[in-house]
Amino acid sequence: MEEKRPDENKDKNLLALGLSLGVVFGLVFDNLAIGISLGIVFGCLLECKGKGKK
């Protein structure tokens, strides 16, 4: 039986989350390029902020 380990990839999902939200906001505001760009920026910022806590 396998041991259940905590989700080690939880911090790695922040870029994907930012990109997904950027696509949604880009579609809502009818400017997909800016939405994707902002999603990547915010995802990277959140990911870098999380690395400082370790």
Residue pair 40/19 in contact (Cβ under 8 Å)? The answer is yes
- Quote the tokens at residue 47: 């990911």
Residue (of 8, 35, 10, 5) closest to 23 by Cα position: 35
pLDDT score for 13:
83
Query: Does the pLDDT value for residue 1 go beyond 70?
Result: no
Q: Which residue has the higher pLDDT, 49 or 37?
A: 37
Summarised one tens digit per residue, pLDDT across range 14-42 is: 889 999 999 999 999 999 999 999 999 99
Residues 6-12 have a mean pLDDT of 59
Q: What is the structure's pLDDT at 14?
A: 86
Q: How many residues does the chain have?
A: 54
